Each structure stands twice: as C-alpha cells, then as structure tokens.
Structure 1
Amino acid sequence: METKRRFVVMAVFIHDTNIISPLGFSADDNFQKILSGTSAIEKVFINDKIGSVYAGKINDELFNNHFQSINADFKGSRIEKLLIAALSPIVEKNPIKHDSVLILSTTKGNIAALANNDLNGAFIDQLAKNINNYFGLKTEPIVVSNACTSGVVAISLAKRFIEMEQFTNTYVVAVDELTPFVVSGFQSFQAMSNEPCKPYDADRTGVNLGEATVAVFVSNENRTESIQILGDANINDANHISGPSRTGEGLFLSIEKALNEAQIASNQIDYISAHGTATLFNDEMEAVAFNRLNLQNVPTNSLKGYFGHTLGASGLLETVITIESLKNNVLIPSFGYQQQGTTQQISIITKKEQKALKTALKTASGFGGSNSAMILVKNSVDVRN
C-alpha cells in the first residue's frame, strides 16, 4: 500500500442533510422507507416513443404540494424547484456567510429545457447561478459534472477547499431528473433492465434510472452529531468511454488512496456503500476491486434497488443514506439481491441488521473511467493507526 500521505490542514465534517426523492421529502423520510423495505422502482411512462420503463420518479403532485410550503410564488423550472426544496432547510439551519460556496453536482442539469428551445436554460452553469442567486450567496458557484461519480467528487472538492482554507463551509447539492433524453441515452447502450434491477445478483439484467435532489452542509465545525470525511480519492483509469476496467484498477487505486489518507487499514472498514448499478460489467468490476483490497468480507450493499440510478445525484444520495446507517448502527439489505452473481465473492447484505458501526466506505464509478472513494467515520471515534 502507498505510504505517502497528503498533509491534512484540518478535519472536515458533513452536518445537516436533506433528500427529495420518490420515497420522501427529507433524509429521515427516505431512510425510514428504506428500513421498511420500500422501493421507488415502478413502471413509469416516459413518452409515446419510448413508452414505459422501470424507474424511480418523484410524484409531481406530491412534490408541488410540498414546494408550496417553501415558496408558493416561485415560477422557475421543475429542477430549480427540486434544488430549492432540498437546500432550503439546510440554509435555514446553517446561515450563509460571506465566504460560503455552492457546489452543484449533476450530469445533465436542466436538459429538459431543450424541449422548450430554452438553450441558455439548459447550460449547467446557468442552473448553478440561478440557485446561487436565489439563496443570495456572494461567491461564484462551482459545478461538478463527472459522470456518475459527480456526487462523491463534489464532497471531495468541498473537503479540499475547506482544508486549503479557501472557504469555511460549503453547500453541496446534487440533482438529476428522469427525462426522455437520459432514458433514450441509456437505452442506446442497451443497459436498461426490463424489470426491477438486481445489483450483484446472478440474474441481473441492467440498470433502472431514477431521480432525486440531495443537499448537505460541509464545514470545519466539529459538532456532536457530525460525520467526518476521513479520506477520499478520485482516479480516472481512462479504460473506455463507457465500459469499466476488467481489473478494477481505477476503483482499486481510489480506495487505496482514500485508506492511505485516512490512515486506516481495509480491515477497519465496517460497511461499504457500493455503486452497484446491476449491469454485468460494473458489478463484476467492483467485486474484483474489493477482493484486491481484501474487502470481500465487509458487509456491502447497493442502494440502486431502492431509488434507481440517480446519476449525478447518486453519490450524494447514497452518502446521506450511509450517514444514516452509521448514526443508527444498522446495515441495510441490498434490494433485489438473491444469489451471488459476480465471479469473485463479496459480502452482500441480505437482511436488515443492527451492528455497531464506526466507519463506512462509499464508492462510485462512472463513464469515462471515473472512480471515487470516500471514507466516513463517526465524530469522536478514533480509528486511525
């Protein structure tokens, strides 16, 4: 294992969190639905050309009623409303400072604007500026669009900025919508499943898409209930424009470097929240990488069976659920999994279980060879070697 260690200026923590998804309109709502074994995946009609697909979609009527209590007069786009709904309670609890910064994670942003010939509205930077202006931040917003690792990369970026004392705190928000553009793109890859997805299962046939908006507050303030970001790394293995490395090299290096920064060994990881898209090649690649790092016996799950793949929101969404698992000392089963479907054994969680948890590893992988890993630890827990 690599021995060089990057000098960490200060500890960085994740504080308040929020989720807007088909399962609910708060982090706790979503977590409770997951604990009850509820999945958002169902048949969703996209349009006349595409028809219906299995996916996770936010109920517009329920969401619009929810948004009325936030700002009944706002006339912006649906995606702007989703972002405002996710971020509003975070800002209310953590008032904006002169050097606060907004980091937006998304793969497609307001791509739906193209259907109305709103070319300017479709630019991701414009979406970030609109949200920035709504909340009155004084700094320029930052956009992270790095395929399906975007959510984890955004948290890593927030951590680095705070370590370098460039900002004292950040609002990290992630979003992607379920649109015909996105669905048709994944259909062209022949990566969509015609049934609810089954990450890591022997009978898995592909991904279900989903949509969500997630927001977290990250700062150097040490609070009792906070979760510390102990280590992180982002590696691009440049393997293929869409296919993952067969050796898991990029993910392997990401996890190795994150462990190195955290100054802990792989046997000190209590739980892995993995990417688990339910495609044949992704799940196999992850199993290879985990085995290379002797993580094959660590309880592991994918949350895609609950939400679908929410793309640029997935990394942040799954990080928030991981945080809830740590705080509540509970392992969540990997929804849809029945039998081992990767050539190398990994310990997929099959039932809800109470277990003392200190640390968790969150991983993500995406198109273009992108891979990310982040190690989370409960505050005031000393796990370093």
Structure 2
Amino acid sequence: MKKEIYITDYNCITPLGFDVSSNWNNLVKGNSGVALHKVIENQETFYASIIDTEKLNEEFNNKFDSQGFTRLEKMFLLSLKPLVEKHSITEETAFILSTTKGNISLLKNQTELPEGAYLSNLAQKIADYFGFKTKPIVVSNACVSGVMAIAVAKNMILAGKYKDAFVIAGDEVSEFVISGFNSFQAIGTGPCKPYDKNRNGINIGEATAAAYITSVLDENEKFRFKILGDSAVNDANHISGPSRTGDGLYASIRNAMTEANITKEQVDFISAHGTATLYNDEMEAIAFNRMELQHVPLNSMKGYYGHCLGASGLLETIISMESARHEVLIPSKNFDEEGISQPLNIIKENQPARVRYILKTASGFGGCNAAVVMEKC
C-alpha cells in the first residue's frame, strides 16, 4: 500500500503579519503589503512588499535570546519556531530550506565571499539552532523553489529516507535582487496587476514560510492536506523568457494530476504563479487552457505579497490551504480587465467555495516549471 504524505501544520512571516491568522484576516479584508519603498540610495522609490525591519526585530527579540543573525535568518527562525515547538525532531526528520538568493545582502561592499552567503551554511545555521539531526537539504531552483521543496519532502518520505520533514522557504528584498529585475525591465511602475490588460511588471516581495510534512498522523492536528502529486519540468526555452507554448507548465500540471489520479473536473481551485509580466501570464493562460482548466477558479497572490521568489511557492500554498479551510477564495488583487489571449476564471471578489482539490503552480527563470496537487482531508 502506498504511503500517504500530509501537510499538518504551517506558518508564515510577511508584511501582512507574523502568523497565519494575521495574514488571513488581512487578505479577507483585501489588504496588501505592496507599497512604495526606497532600497537603493541613488534610485527612485518603487512598489514592493517589504517587512518593517523595526517590527521584525521587536518580534524576534521577544521570542529569541540569541544574537548574531541576519535579517533573513531572523525571518526564517520566526517562521519555524511555532512548528518545532509542536512537533518532535528525530533522526528520521528532514530539514529542507528553499531560497533563491539567501543571504545575498552579505556580499555588499565585500571583497571576499562571506561564509554566511553560502546557501548550505545558511541552512546549517538554522538547522543547528533548532537541533536538527540530519544534514539540511537546500532547494534553489529560481521561482519554483518553494513548490519543489514540498515535492522533495514528499518524495523523500515516500522513498523511506525520512518519516517527516520541516520545510522552510524565504527570500528578502535586496539591492542585488532589485538590480537584477531592473536589468530585465521587469519591475512594474505601480502595484502589479496579474493577468490584467494594463499589467506592466512585477512587484518584488519578501517573506518566509514554514510547513510540517509527515507520513505519521496523530489526533492533535487541527487539519491535514494530503500531497497527492507533483512534477517539475524544464522546457529549456530561454534563460529568462517563458515558453510561448506553455510546454513546461503544461507537462508539470499533467504529470502532477496523473500521479494524483484526478481529472480536470475535480480541480476546485488553482493558485497560479501570476507575476504580472506580459509573457509569464500569457504563458500560464495557454498552459491552463491546454489542460482544459480554464473554467477553474484561479488567483495570483502577487498583488498582496509581491513576488517573494523562493518563498512564493510555499507561502501561496499555505494561503491556498487556508482558503480551503475557511471555504473562501481570495480574489486576484488589482485584476480589472482580462489581458491574456485565452480565457481564465480569475477570481474578482471573496467568494464562498467548497475546496477539496487544490492545484498550485509556479514558473521561473531558466525554463523551470512546477506543480503540486493537494487534497483537503
């Protein structure tokens, strides 16, 4: 009999709150973390979703006695702490960290590469603090990292390598990241508008998220979501441009749904990537239509959180599960008029819904695409 893998706990740290309930309450009210910020001295302000550093430090100091952590590390520690306090860490527990850039800010004004900038060292530092007994696993594959980290946990538990796993995902807004997206001319001039006719680019965001994934259930869980299927496919289209045919995303969704053994009629909700760039949103519309999923209610969370890079996939998965728990689908913020060549059922206002099967997708630079299917139990 095939082992079943579940997500039974999660947490997040974002500009909308330092726990899941605060985030959910803000989302239901339509509040967004996107605002004008100035990150680079000689550049103008731009729209991004950034955590208030003073509030972050205050929250951290209230819950931790330790010092010597970077801003991103504080975000990771805060997101993971409530989970490790409720679930035991054993020799059969995996620790998986998802990020695209990690402590990239440590490189500023440095002539030599600081040890803390290595992703493996970042993961080990967090693991050591909480007393993990196994070697950390780092998942860093552009913007699909958060979704892939869920898949890695599921598949390693299925393979018998571990019995459970703590997955954390995070990135912060930095000069390096902003400069990179500026070089692509990809940053929007206002709050981002996924799938909208007048979209013109992304808002960068920052967050950390954490999830507990296990094959061993107990009676104290408030909820459980079964991870039914997953897939990651690289279409090798371009170093930064999405496929015009949606091949990689289409294949990822098809494979994940095949493993999950569900039909297109059974999918109740899609949490899409929706970056608000011209080509990404168009590619997604094509892929969803190829899978005949165009009638399924769909949203992008980028209008609330911006694009949180390695955190986005896990954070948006958590919000999807909250939607299923509360039986409320959140609208795709800032969407007014469809601006894609093929139709999608984009959610425009809070709507009640019974959600059993969730499809979460992500796409990123280098042609990477990923999908995961979950079932509310």
TM-score range, shorter chain: over 0.9
Partner residue of 2:233 out of 212, 232, 235: 235
Of 6, 24, 32, 2:25 maps to 32
- Contact 1:50/1:180, CA 8 A, preserved across alignment: no
Which one-letter code corresponds to 1:267 in the other structure?
Answer: E
Residues in 2 aligned to 1:66 and 1:288: alpha-carbon distance in whole angstroms: 43
For 2:2 and 2:366, the matched residues in 1 are separated by 31
**Match of residue 201, structure 1, among 183, 196, 201:** 196
Aligned to 2:286: 288
Distance 1:73 1:244 in 2: 43
In structure 1, distance between residues paired with 2:167 and 2:175: 26
User: Conserved in 2, the CA contact under 8 Å of 1:248 and 1:285?
Assistant: yes
Alignment of 1:1-385 (within 5 A): 9-115=2-108, 117=110, 119-222=114-217, 225-379=223-377
- CA shift for structure 1 position 258: 0.6
Q: Contact 1:9–1:164 (CA<8 Å) still a contact in 2?
A: no
TM-score, length of structure 2 as denominator length: 0.97
CA positional deviation for 1:164: 0.7
SS in 1 for 2:45: strand
Whether the 8 Å CA contact 1:234–1:370 is kept in 2: the answer is yes
Identify the range of structure 1 (116-125 vs 313-322) with the bigger mean alpha-carbon deviation. 116-125
CA drift of 1:79 comes to 1.2
Whole-angstrom CA distance in 1 between matches of 2:115 and 2:44: 29
- Unaligned 5+ segments in structure 1 are 1-7, 380-385
Partner Cα distance (2:108, 2:183) in 1? 20
Structure 1 window deviating more from structure 2 (80-89 vs 67-76): it is 67-76
- C-alpha distance in structure 1 between counterparts of 2:217 and 2:66, whole Å: 37
Q: Is the 8 A contact 1:242 1:367 kept in 2?
A: yes
Q: Distance in 2 between matches of 1:73 and 1:300?
A: 42
User: Amino acid of the residue matched to residue 62 of structure 1?
Assistant: K
Q: Using the TM superposition, give the Cα deviation of residue 116 of structure 1 relative to its aligned residue in structure 2, in angstroms.
A: 5.4
Q: Secondary structure of the equivalent of 1:170?
A: strand
Distance 2:217 2:131 in 1: 25
Structure 2 distance, partners of 1:47, 1:149, is 26
- Provide the C-alpha distance between the structure 1 equivalents of 2:43 and 2:239, rounded to a whole number of angstroms: 25
The whole-number CA distance in structure 1 between the counterparts of 2:245 and 2:45 is: 35
- Structure 1 runs of 4+ with >2 Å offset: 72-75, 221-224
User: How many angstroms does 1:86 deviate by?
Assistant: 0.6
Supply the distance in 1 between the matched residues of 2:304 and 2:17 (Cα, whole angstroms). Answer: 12
223-232 or 137-146, which moves further after superposition?
A: 223-232
Q: Tell me, what secondary structure is at the counterpart of 1:160?
A: helix
Residue of structure 2 in register with 1:383 after alignment: none
- Give the Cα–Cα distance (whole angstroms) in 2 for the partners of residues 74 and 322 of structure 1: 34
Please tell me the residue identity of whatever aligns with 1:34: L
Aligned-partner residue type, residue 262 of structure 1: A
Instruction: Give the Cα separation in 1 of the matches to 2:345 and 2:258.
Output: 23
SS, match of residue 48 in structure 1: coil
Paired positions, count: 372
Quote the offset at 1:221 in angstroms: 2.2
SS in 2 for 1:51: coil
How far is the alpha carbon of 1:73 from its aligned partner?
3.2
- Of 221-230 and 335-344, deviating more is 221-230
Structure 1 residue 65: Cα displacement: 1.2
In the TM superposition, what whole-angstrom CA distance separates every residue of 1:131-171 from its partner, at most 9, and x where no partner exists? 11111111100000000000000000000011011000111
SS in 1 for 2:39: strand
Determine the C-alpha separation between the residues in 1 that align with 2:199 and 2:8.
Answer: 35
**How much does 1:109 deviate?**
0.3
The alignment partner of 1:42 has SS state of strand
* Most deviating of 93-102 and 315-324: 93-102
The CA deviation string for residues 254-313 of structure 1, in whole angstroms up to 9 with x for no partner, is 000011001110111000000000000000000000000110000000000000000000
Residues in 1 aligned to 2:54 and 2:60: alpha-carbon distance in whole angstroms: 10
SS at match of 1:196: coil
Of the structure 1 ranges 43-52 and 317-326, higher mean CA displacement relative to structure 2 is found in 43-52
Give deviations 1:29-72, integer Å, cap 9, x for gaps: 11111011000000011121233110000001111111112113
Q: What is the identity, as a one-letter code, of the residue corresponding to 1:361? A: L
Letter in 1 for 2:16: L
Gaps of 5+ in 2: none
